[in-house]
Structures are given as C-alpha cells and as structure tokens.
Amino acid sequence: MHATEHRQRTPDQILGPYFPVPRGAFTGTDLTRIEGGDGQAQGEIIEIAGRIINLDGEPVRGARLTIWQANSFGRYRHPNDRNVAPLDPNFVGCTRIRSNDDGSYVVKTIKPGAYSVSPDWMRPPHIHFEVQGRCERLVTQMYFPGEPLNERDRLLAAALRPDLLVAAEAELQKTPRRVLTFDIVLVRG
C-alpha cells in the first residue's frame, strides 16, 4: 500500500431480505438469461465489474460471492416476498461466483427496481453481496449513483461510510450497456 492511500473496509449491511434459497442459486455471470430459456430479463441491462481486495490492495483470489437482487419491478424471486409486483419469468435474481486470480469479478444483470418496505420507506435500487474470503465474511449492498432514494434510505444512511457502498460509473465504456464499478475491500481477505 502506498503511504498516500488509505483504504477502508467495505461497510457491512443487513443480510436480508430474501437470501437465495439453495435450489434457486445460479452459478453464471449472466443473470439476464435463464439457461434453457429463450427470453431475456426485463429492464435496463447493466454490467457490474469490480475487485475483491484487502486493506493492503492485494487481490483476494477465489473469494466466493453470492449476489442477489430484486427484479426490475422491485420483487425478489423468493417464496417469502409478498410484494404484489410481477415476477419476471426470465430472471432468477441470484448467482454464486468466485473472484479471479486478480480478485476481479464481472456480472451482467439488470438494474433492480425500488420497492416499498413500509408506508414511509422506499428502498432504492440495490444489489446484495455476500463475500467469503480466505479469512472473513462480509455481507453488504451496492447502491446506484445518482438515485434520489439513496438520500432517504435508512440502511444506507446507517453505514459508517455510505459513499463506499455507491458504485461508480465506469470511465471507459467498452459495451453499449451501462457499466458500474464496485470494488469490495476486506481487512485481510
């Protein structure tokens, strides 16, 4: 780590709601299509790219990532989600992958919709991450830049460093779709 750099661990967030049920887990990097299906998930297709690193900036190789989210209508594909928003038959909404040797990961998905938690609380679009490194586990959420609901979200506001939970727009767009960068920092990896 350079003397001028000061990394901070990515803040914890709650595990819920709706941690993926084991039989529904997908193990690919493209959540916009279901294997064997002929349709595509509804909503804005995005790509999330990032690295899992430790506080010294070293890559965390082979970290297990479980990623889950609501569909573009704000509904999770989970038996306990009683949201009346429609399910998307072409969207599973979760996957399990591993980081590469350089700590990197890439997932193609859709931007999740916002959803109501209570009459006075609307969750902004967000994606859940559970990261299991060699030495530690982190459960967190990634939020989207420029979302008006971010400012009023109780969970984001409760984080020690909310800014570390908001993805960045990728500087070099290599695809026609929106690309977001979300690096996750563990203490030791």
95-112 residue pLDDT tens: 999 999 999 999 999 999
Distance CA 51, CA 25 (A): 22
Active-site annotation holds for 23: no
pLDDT number for residue 152? 96
The four Cα atoms 152, 153, 159, 165 give a dihedral, to 10 degrees, of -100
Average confidence score pLDDT of the chain? 91
What pLDDT is attached to residue 15?
Answer: 84
76 is catalytic: yes
105 in catalytic set: no
Q: What is the residue extent of each domain of the chain? A: 22-186
Class of domain 22-186: mainly beta
Determine which one of 9, 126, 143, 161 is catalytic: 126
Active-site residue, selected from the candidate residues 76, 77, 78, 143: 76
Q: Is the pTM of this model over 0.85?
A: yes
Tell me if residue 6 is catalytic: no
Q: Are 94 and 25 in contact (CB under 8 A)?
A: yes
Catalytic residue among 18, 105, 115, 143: 115
Residue 24 has pLDDT above 70, yes or no: no
Radius of gyration of the chain (CA): 16
pLDDT tens, residue by residue, 46-86: 999 999 999 999 999 999 999 999 999 999 988 888 899 99
Q: What pLDDT was estimated at residue 1?
A: 46
**Rounded-to-integer distance, Cα 131 and Cα 182, Å:** 13
